[in-house]
């Protein structure tokens, strides 16, 4: 039976989006810690709704569009378009902590990929970023790397958004909002939401870029001055 993705590339995608990949994703809650502290997110239902909103209306929507544009640019070997996608991905962050979250993970992801899976376009892109003193967006890094590995865009988007869900569920576990079984119930319940988010990213026009997740952004702002905290965001 034909395998259009290729087992090697599927293994690579799973490795890149695994919690074990050294991006430091475990240290970020995307404002969830402040939402839990205030009581806005306090049980399985409220956590599921919070993560779903991030996917459809918040950073999940932004990241999906950036990953899409970076993937397409890398497929075409268009490094200027890749630079533009990355610049927008860095700029469209509502808070300092959200900017840190995407750029710290983006730098770690790109550096590790280039070390373990050398790729000329990624090396050229990294050199241009360094020369210009520019940060790198996590979604753009994943988009470029998956494109150069021959991983289809839809699969890359699905993997990225599922990893986002898993990381936020893990944060909810560590904050004591839910237990492990309820965490997996949330992951299962959000499968169709991930599917809708991927479909939306594949269909949206550039003029529709943006987000509307004010509660998440306010929580992120509050987290910047939260006295006691486990996470960097």
| Residue pLDDT, tens place only, 32-50 | 999 999 999 999 999 999 9
CA dist 174 → 25, 29, 171, 194 (Å) = 13, 10, 5, 23
Residue 231 lies in a domain: no
Residue 19 lies in a domain: no
Give me the pLDDT at residue 197, please: 97
Residue 4 lies in a domain: no
Residue 25 lies in a domain: no
Tell me phi and psi for residue 99, to 5 degrees: -65, -45
Residue 24 lies in a domain: no
Residue 141 lies in a domain: yes
Report the domain count for the chain: 1
Residue 233 lies in a domain: no
**Separation CA 233–CA 98 (nearest Å):** 7
Residue 14 lies in a domain: no
Task: Indicate the SS3 state at residue 186.
Answer: helix
| Residue pLDDT, tens place only, 68-89 | 999 999 999 999 999 999 999 9
Percent share of the chain, pLDDT over 70? 98
DSSP-assigned states of every residue in 187-225 = HHHTHHHHHHHHHHHHH--GGG-----HHHHHHHHHHTT
| Residue pLDDT, tens place only, 185-232 | 999 999 999 999 999 999 998 888 888 888 999 999 999 999 889 999
Task: Domain of residue 179: give its range.
Answer: 32-222
Question: Which pTM does this prediction carry?
Answer: 0.95
pLDDT of 9 over the 90 cut: no
CATH of the domain at 52: 1.10.4190.10
Task: Return the closest-CA partner of residue 80 out of 112, 118, 121.
Answer: 121
Q: End-to-end CA distance of the chain, in Å?
A: 45
């Amino acid at each position: 039976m034909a395998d259009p993705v290729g087992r090697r590339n599927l293994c690579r995608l799973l490795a890149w989006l695994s919690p074990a990949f050294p991006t430091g994703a475990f240290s970020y809650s995307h404002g969830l810690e402040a939402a839990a502290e205030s009581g806005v997110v306090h049980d399985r239902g409220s956590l599921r709704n919070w993560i779903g909103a991030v996917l459809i209306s918040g950073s999940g929507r932004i990241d999906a569009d950036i990953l899409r544009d970076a993937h397409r640019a890398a497929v075409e070997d268009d490094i200027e378009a890749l630079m533009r996608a990355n610049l927008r991905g860095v700029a469209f962050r509502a808070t300092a902590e959200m900017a840190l979250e995407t750029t710290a993970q983006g730098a770690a992801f790109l550096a590790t990929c280039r070390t373990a899976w050398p790729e000329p376009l990624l090396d050229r892109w990294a050199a241009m970023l360094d020369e210009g003193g520019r940060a790198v967006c996590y979604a753009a890094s994943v988009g470029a790397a998956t494109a150069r590995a021959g991983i289809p865009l839809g699969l890359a988007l699905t993997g990225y958004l599922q990893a986002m869900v898993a990381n936020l569920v893990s944060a909810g576990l560590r904050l004591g909002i839910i237990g492990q079984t309820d965490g997996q119930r949330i992951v299962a319940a959000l499968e169709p939401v991930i599917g809708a988010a991927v479909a939306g990213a594949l269909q949206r026009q550039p003029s529709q870029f943006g987000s509307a997740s004010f509660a998440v952004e306010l929580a992120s702002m509050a987290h910047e001055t939260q006295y006691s905290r486990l996470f960097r965001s």
